[in-house]
Structure 1
Amino acid sequence: MRTLIITAFVSLDGVMEAPGGEEGYRNSGWTYQNVAFDPAAYELKGREQEEAAALLLGRRSYEAFAPIWPTMTDDFARYNELPKYVVSESLRNEDLVDDWGPIAILRSVEEVALLKETEGGPILVQGSGTLGHALADAGLVDRYHLLVFPLLLGAGKRLFSAADRDAQSLALVEHESYGNGIQKMIYDVVRS
């Protein structure tokens, strides 16, 4: 079974919305505007690119990344080569870009569960807050890669679902603190 990893920049109060500057959110760009840059804090992002075997995106994240990432050959060369899966009930094949490697549309969380049962390496979920909630609520997430920023943003989309569900234990498998206050935390989901 393939490992499904949610990776996120997140504020200390759990907000994941618009870390890089997407429009429509008043604190947009909070990762770069509010915290000093320390390249060591982003080592995880390079490692993820090398270890991932596929990308999984929700429709809105796909629509945000698809026009930009294919042109970023220095920063996202490996991601551009990977197979991509977009979970959407409304996206059509003719809506997909043709310069971003192989892309397939999945119509449900159940189809993601079937994808996890195939052969291959880790599946990385980038952005995709609504999808992340659905995957976690369905018990499909195996690991979290978090870069936690020393900020309280208040309002915004949260990394974790507000669904009323049983407690989920996590095991901290890697942690590092950086001089700019960012904390790297990698958690495995503990299955009973």
Structure 2
Amino acid sequence: MKIVAGLHISLDGVIESPERWSFDYLCPEAGESIKGRRDSTDILLLGRNTYEEFAAIWPGQDGEVADFMNNAPKLVASTTLTSADWSGATLLEGDAATALTTLKQQPGRNITITGSATLVRSLVLAGLVDELHLMICPIVLGGGKRLFDDADGRVPLRLIASETFPTGVAHLTYGPA
């Protein structure tokens, strides 16, 4: 299995609260790109904050995306949660990096991380992310949480693929160098 992460990011590197600024840049082509990643997902991996946000929103929704979110097997990386009650959700036991290293050895397609920037950052720095999909929106936010604000040291990556969309979004896919 591969670990595949996808994030919306501003030109100045902000990943915080993309629901407030990135939706203006979605278009059918970007939607198809996101759908392609969703369709190749065997397991959804979420950090605690994203899990709590999604578990509060998606169970009351319907439609194609809601069906995926509600029915997909979900792993939750958290050191503070004691249970994960959303349908199909399981807490990762022990150290997330160790558990995911073992899980990556299993047959299957992708373990997909949506949002969960803290988790994505830690897994990129640990060398566990096989594909990092950045949807770079043509906006400067001037402030907010950045993906690698507190990164310690270098992590070389290589560009695997790139595409642009009519709204000016650049979709860059990186993998380990």
Same fold (TM over 0.5): yes
Alpha-carbon separation, structure 2, partners of 1:127 and 1:135: 13
Q: How does 1:4-153 map to 2 (within 5 A)?
A: 4-20=3-19, 29-32=20-23, 35=24, 37-74=26-63, 75-93=65-83, 96-98=84-86, 100=87, 102-106=88-92, 107-108=94-95, 109-153=97-141
What are structure 2's unaligned runs of at least 5 residues?
none
RMSD (Å), alpha carbons? 1.7
Number of paired residues?
A: 174
Q: TM-score, normalised by structure 2?
A: 0.89
Instruction: Encode CA deviations 1:75-126: one digit per residue, 9 max, x unaligned.
Output: 2322322110000111012xx224x3x2111142222222222222100111
Q: 2:4, 2:129 within 8 Å by CA — same for their partners in 1?
A: yes
Read off the aligned partner of 1:10 and give its amino acid letter.
I
Alpha-carbon separation, structure 1, partners of 2:170 and 2:107: 32
Alpha carbons of structure 1 residues 69 and 53: separation in structure 2 relative to 1, 3 Å = same
Instruction: Encode CA deviations 1:19-57: one digit per residue, 9 max, x unaligned.
Output: 11xxxxxxxx1113xx45522222111112211111111
Alpha-carbon separation, structure 2, partners of 1:158 and 1:8: 11
Alpha-carbon separation, structure 2, partners of 1:137 and 1:185: 18
Read off the aligned partner of 2:77 and give its amino acid letter.
V
Q: 2:25, 2:169 within 8 Å by CA — same for their partners in 1?
A: no
Where does residue 23 of structure 1 map in the other structure?
none
Q: 2:127, 2:176 within 8 Å by CA — same for their partners in 1?
A: no
Q: TM-score, normalised by structure 1?
A: 0.82
Alpha-carbon separation, structure 1, partners of 2:130 and 2:157: 11
Q: 2:125, 2:155 within 8 Å by CA — same for their partners in 1?
A: no
CA displacement at 1:11 relative to structure 2: 0.5
Alpha carbons of structure 1 residues 189 and 154: separation in structure 2 relative to 1, 3 Å = same
In the alignment, structure 1 residue 176 sits paired with structure 2 residue 175: no
Alpha-carbon separation, structure 1, partners of 2:106 and 2:52: 26
Alpha carbons of structure 1 residues 118 and 161: separation in structure 2 relative to 1, 3 Å = farther
SS in 1 for 2:18: coil
